[in-house]
Structure 1
Amino acid sequence: MKLNNIKYTLAICALLLTSVSYAQNPTDPKKATPAAGTLTDEIVVERPYKPVLADAAKIRRSPDLNSNSVFKRALTYSMFDKKLELNSDIRQLQAQEVINGERPPLLNNYAKFGMGNFSTGLAELYLNTGSDEALQAGFFLKHLNQKGDITGQKYSRQNAGIFGKSILPKVTLNGELGFDRFSTFLYGVDPSTNLTFNSDPQKQRYSTISIKGEMLKNYKSEDELDYAVKADAYFLSDKFDAKENAIALSGFVNKVWNDFNIGVNSSLDFTQTKDSLNIGNHIFRANPYIKLQGKSYKLSLGVNLVEEFGTNSGFNLFPTVTAEMPVIPEFATLFAGYTGDVIKSTLQNFSNENPYLNQNLQILNTQETANLYGGIKGNAGAGFGYKATLFYKKLDNMPLFVNNALNPERFDVIYDNAKVTGLEGEINVKVSDAFSWLGKVMVNNYSMDVQEKAWLKPEFKISSSARLSITKEITIDGELVLNDASSALVYLPTPSIVKVKGYADVSAGAEYVHKEKVGIFLRVNNMLNNDYQRLLYYPQLGLNVIGGVNYSF
């Protein structure tokens, strides 16, 4: 057993040695020197390569070489693969859907109530139909009364009215029916003696009913006429049975032709004033014109024909020439003109300026025979506007107020010819919706024909007003009036000139609004508590305060 194992072991070793010898790389016979007793001949065994393909990759079906079928793809065609758009036509606009948001409350109406010193009472009411601007109708009512320390120093004013507006496809219609009532007393006091001219002052009251109507064309084009028609009427009466009725019709027609405007303004005014005298004061006027407007100028040429008829009659023809030329477009424009007109005198105009009138006033119209003016106007940015005008006027029958010789608390109206040279200026600033300011100045120099002075007409006046919204709820405003001294003519004890001192009147107010509905306001007038007169013998109220509430709904 052991012998056999030895044989098998020797045989395996011999085979391993033979394999090792075959795997070695042959050596260069020139360099290598065989060792004694080693094998030097190399035996190489070769045979041809025959590839064998596995059975899994064999194709067991022969191809059909006679098959001639043709593959056909299913095709589809569209005659209008892409839509062509015609740019020669205007496409209909597609409305964009509006997102429904929270709408603010619609506050068309408000009521206001207030009280103050000097027995002041204030009430206002305003009603309106709604937010449709094309159809409006409403009603308003106002009341204010005050009572001073002087006997008879009382004031009371009421205003009421209804109005309507309708915007039709071609025209706009406006109408209003109003009532105005102003009541006071003839409480004249001599400031030098503090004595009243009448221990039992008489009451004066002016009541006016007015009617207004207007029709305007909504647009104008080169192919059509532009036009407007307006009608006004009022009926006035006072406590002493004086009456005045007036009816006026006015309108204009304008035609645009290239750079030209050709048109005419016209009016017919009938006014009848009744007291112990019955005065008819009627005026017809026509103002044909032609306007030429270029890129760097505007020019208007025309005439003003004025026919007066009634108690007094007369015919007047005035040339009218106006021109504008931009120096810096949109910032500065020079303007000038020469015109003339007839300024109508009425009891209504006189009573609005001076309510302490005498009876049986003389009514004469003022002829503005010449009005030559020139100046500059423009804007310095979106929130700053200005205008300055120098002028020279020649006036025939300019009205003046003078105290009556027998009843100094009453005023008569006298007339005189005058030449007036002056300056008017205006500045308007609006920084934003939160702040705005307006300032005006007026300087006049009167050269009278017969009278020594232009009675009760100041030669210098400044007015200014400002408004500031501190927050959305709080707003304050202020006003300043500076009036130069003036001269008055008195007859007692002898004709003489009395100086009416100049004055400064400062007023301010504040308002707080809660949720855009409920508000609280406070107003202080004559803050400097100045004792001044606008008209001789009629001192104004001192410092007066009004406070109250208002409600919007």
Structure 2
Amino acid sequence: MKKLLLILFSIVSLSSVHAQKDTTKKTVVVTSAYKPVLKPAAKINFSAAVPSADSSRPPLTYNVPAQNLFFSYQPAALKPLALSIDTSFSWENSNFVKLGVGSYTTPFAQLGLSFGDGRTSLVNVHARHISQKGSLPLQQYSRTNADVSGIFSGKGNIEWHGKAGVDLSNQYYYGYSPDTLKYSKDSLKQRFKTLSAMIGFRNKEVNSYGITYDPTLSVNFFADNRKGKEANLVLNAPVTKTFNEDLAFNVEFTADITSYHTYSSRKITNNLYYLSPSVGFKKPTFSVNAGITPSWDNKEFKLLPNFTALIKMQDERFVLQGGWIGYYQKNTFQSLAAFNPWIAQPNTLLNTRIIESYAGFKGSAGSHFTFNAKLSALKYTNAALFTNDFVDGKTFQTVYEPSMRALKIHGEAGYTAQEKFSFLGGITISKYSALKENSKAWGLVPLELTGALRWQVLKDLQFKSDVFLWDGAQFVTKGGVTTKPKSAYDLNAGVEFTIMPKLNLWLQFNNILNNKYQRWNQYQVLGFNVIGGIVYSFSQPGK
């Protein structure tokens, strides 16, 4: 039995040995004593105390100049400046011809030409003609004028400028009363002829002594068709010495000499000289100009004031203005006929002296709206007034009021949006009083409202409109009867648009409301009328 068990155990052992497989994996174990560690990093020690908070408000002063333009309602003298041309820009001489016809037998022609290179020389030529014939007998006129002006600049600091022109006008005294009177056409004809010339020079930049100057010499010859002749010479020489940005000294000398011959060959001289020294002081918040004006009016000496001031408020868009100034209104046959074209030859010439005290403000609201208002108290000496003659009223006699006072309120407001839209409106109210020899201020308008609109609707379409409204002036007629024409209102509108390259079509509508008012007593204006035509523009590249 023992032998049998041993044999079975052996057989089982051999079978198990042949059934097992070798599943042992070979591995390599590496043992090392080195252990890598990171070096301790250096750290900033934030142990400083936090500084105490500063609650004080630092003063911040800003000086931002006003970015708006203030347009003076009264026209100011324009002085030509040197034209600075970019070297990358090619100067072109612009030229145009404007032709048109309209109602009331109206031919119209206008020409504009320019010459020069725009750097050393610039010459402009302008000519214009218009004539109209109304519905009333002899209600017709014509006017033709032409002028040439130029600016010439060399390599130095001197720039020359000049102008010469001629003006011819023809009209008839058609405002006689009663209208049943019979006159020959030649006896009612009135013709004015003017020849003018001006020359001057100026320094383009302030010289090393801080001085700027701009003297001019003007000559005018004026005549009518009734042997009336007048020669006028004006020398004007302003000089400014600038000491620094704040202080400047100004002095201006003017000599205005007139020689006038009436139809009877009577000679009348009217000479006016004055000197205007002043000191100008300017600061960011205010500016002051203080001076005097000694004058010699036909050898009569008068000392006139010349004080003006501007004060900017905290908001620089609002400026207070005030002044006490004295000045002259030179009365010549030419200037009187320009104001009232129906005057007879004056028998004497007196200059109007004006002393004005005024206060007001001007400024802007936003970036488009500007405003200006002024209250003035004026004292006139030898004010020129106009009364109808005592025969038929067709001419006006010039009378001089020795002393007169006036209270004048003037205001204006404007809105401008780039160069596409602009509107300017103004009002002037004048109250005349304290006259010595005349009961009323004959021929002077007490109330005037004006408005001007310019609108570029599209790139090739422009629209403009003007409106005038004024209260009738007082006049005295035959027998000393006082009369006052009705209030006047006049609305005009025009449009211009492109129909072809360089060719535009224009239309102008005048007195749209057909108000046949009388600015001057017995002289009715034309009613509604329309003028239209073409404008051809062309240019020639400068050399």
TM bin (shorter chain): 0.7 to 0.9
Q: 1:124 aligns with which of 110, 124, 134?
A: 110
Alignment of 1:105-504 (within 5 A): 106=92, 108-129=94-115, 132-168=118-154, 169-190=156-177, 194-195=179-180, 198=183, 200=185, 202-220=188-206, 223-258=209-244, 259-275=246-262, 276=264, 277-309=266-298, 313-368=299-354, 370-416=355-401, 417-447=403-433, 448-491=435-478, 494-504=479-489
Given that 1:306 and 1:341 are in contact with CA atoms closer than 8 Å, whether structure 2 keeps it comes out as no
- In 1, Cα distance between the equivalents of 2:533 and 2:91? 23
Q: Deviations over 1:357-401 (max 9, x none)?
A: 213432111122x21001111222343222111000011110101
Structure 1 residues not aligned, in runs of 5+ = 1-32, 43-97
Deviation at 1:450? 2.4
Structure 1 residues 532 and 171: CA distance shift in structure 2, 3 A: same
Structure 2 residues not aligned, in runs of 5+ = 1-6, 18-85, 539-543
Given that 1:357 and 1:411 are in contact with CA atoms closer than 8 Å, whether structure 2 keeps it comes out as yes
Deviation at 1:321? 1.2
Q: Deviations over 1:87-116 (max 9, x none)?
A: xxxxxxxxxxx9x9xx99956110111111
- In 1, Cα distance between the equivalents of 2:448 and 2:370? 20
TM-score by length of 1: 0.78
Q: 2:494 aligns with which of 498, 503, 509?
A: 509
Given that 2:290 and 2:308 are in contact with CA atoms closer than 8 Å, whether structure 1 keeps it comes out as yes
- In 2, Cα distance between the equivalents of 1:385 and 1:516? 36
Larger Rg: 1
- In 2, Cα distance between the equivalents of 1:551 and 1:107? 14
Letter in 2 for 1:530: N
- In 2, Cα distance between the equivalents of 1:477 and 1:295? 38
Structure 1 residues 196 and 428: CA distance shift in structure 2, 3 A: farther
Structure 1 residues 347 and 323: CA distance shift in structure 2, 3 A: same
- In 2, Cα distance between the equivalents of 1:163 and 1:305? 33
- In 2, Cα distance between the equivalents of 1:39 and 1:511? 126
- In 2, Cα distance between the equivalents of 1:443 and 1:290? 32
Deviation at 1:223? 3.9
Given that 2:333 and 2:345 are in contact with CA atoms closer than 8 Å, whether structure 1 keeps it comes out as no
Relative contact order (C-alpha < 8 Å, sep 6+): which is higher?
2
Letter in 1 for 2:10: A
Deviation at 1:284? 1.3
- In 1, Cα distance between the equivalents of 2:120 and 2:371? 33
SS of the residue aligned with 1:187? coil
- In 2, Cα distance between the equivalents of 1:109 and 1:34? 137
- In 1, Cα distance between the equivalents of 2:278 and 2:225? 44
Given that 1:108 and 1:131 are in contact with CA atoms closer than 8 Å, whether structure 2 keeps it comes out as no
Counterpart for residue 36 of structure 1: 10
- In 2, Cα distance between the equivalents of 1:240 and 1:123? 29
Letter in 2 for 1:236: F
Letter in 1 for 2:440: K
- In 1, Cα distance between the equivalents of 2:502 and 2:445? 43
SS of the residue aligned with 2:458? coil
Structure 1 residues 529 and 288: CA distance shift in structure 2, 3 A: same
Q: CA RMSD in A?
A: 2.4
- In 1, Cα distance between the equivalents of 2:325 and 2:124? 39
Deviation at 1:333? 0.5
Given that 1:265 and 1:287 are in contact with CA atoms closer than 8 Å, whether structure 2 keeps it comes out as yes
Letter in 2 for 1:529: N
Q: Deviations over 1:487-509 (max 9, x none)?
A: 11012xx2110121111001111
